[in-house]
Structure 1
Amino acid sequence: MSGIAGVRERELEPIVDERGWLMEILRSDWPEFEAFGQVYLTTARPGVVKAWHEHEAQRDNFVPVSGRIKLVLADTRPDSPTEGEIAEYFIGERNFRLVSIPPGVTHGFKCISDDEAMVVNVPTTTYDYEDPDEIRYDPDTDEIDYDWVLPDDRVHG
């Protein structure tokens, strides 16, 4: 469970039968749902970090659907009661979870599985190519007190 104000999470339960399985990722009647912007899939190869990102208006709704990730949230909001807190989630196969990240919470993830990780995001707004709602920091920024522990031969971005 996250201690960061405004973060919502839900354990996801695959519905399994002899044909395979189905898993609901985000429903409009769940409290985690705010609005629909778009759906996209992003991947990371083993050991790769994709960080840091922050949005002013957009809420992200992350669900890893293949592989495993370490999702890290940093509360960098100066007006937040949990300012400065870091939360880690080890999620994906064998631990399916929806993590709903509010605007202003800086976040990123690292693939921790032996195979490429696939993450579905259902943000509350569409991506604006001309004026993106995205603030980026390098994974090793001094702005966030966190060490991704990257091996020398791995890349991040």
Structure 2
Amino acid sequence: MIRKEFSEIQGIQVNPLKIINGPKGDVRHALKANDTSFLGFGEAYFSTMHQGEIKGWKRHNRATLNLVLSSGIVRFFAFDDRTDSVSKGAFAEIILSLDNYQRLTIGPGIWLAFQGLSENNAILNICNMQHDPTEADNREINDPIMPKLS
């Protein structure tokens, strides 16, 4: 397993996002139709997690995810086991918060897990296709063929 930066895994983009502060509340950008990571719209949903809990491992085989922090602090883990990838064997992690406000675009074939680090954690996923339970694979967090998470 090779430790890399999140954006060094083929098929992952990390895009800084803009927060526009206002006296009555802020505007947080998420995704625009002219962003290079916008591949169409299938569905958008929020995923929440309790503090300390890890969700994953999950690999989408056709879907591209655009993940944006809605609240809290979340650590994301990615693992590339694709045989045809230049980053095969790479493992990466990144922590997102409002101080590190970015969009993670995760292409098909990359394993993903995420952990809530604060009390109220939520991420928005803007996916290019509607949910299809047959297009994704799941593994337990402690699966011995997956990287050990700490």
2:77 alignment counterpart: 72
Which residue, out of 122, 127, 144, partners 1:123? Answer: 127
- Summarize deviations over 1:105-152 as a string: whole Å, max 9, x none: 000100112x12011001111013xx43210000011121222x3xxx
Greater strand share, structure number? 2
Q: Is the 8 A contact 1:65 1:96 kept in 2?
A: no
For residue 65 of structure 1, report the CA deviation from its aligned partner. 1.2
Q: Is the 8 A contact 1:63 1:92 kept in 2?
A: no
Instruction: Check if 1:34 corresponds to 2:39.
Output: yes
TM-score by length of 1: 0.88
Alignment RMSD (CA, Å): 1.1
Query: SS at the partner of 1:25?
Result: coil
- Runs of 4+ in structure 1 off by over 6 angstroms are none
Residues 116-155 of structure 1: pairs in structure 2 closer than 5 A: 116-128=120-132, 131-147=133-149, 149=150
For this pair of structures, how many residues does the alignment match? 145
Q: How high is the sequence identity, in percent, across the aligned residues? A: 24
Greater helix share, structure number? 2
TM-score by length of 2: 0.92
Query: Aligned equivalents of 1:87 and 1:60: distance in 2?
Result: 17
Where do 5+ consecutive residues of structure 2 fail to align? none
For residue 92 of structure 1, report the CA deviation from its aligned partner. 2.2
Query: Aligned equivalents of 1:35 and 1:143: distance in 2?
Result: 33
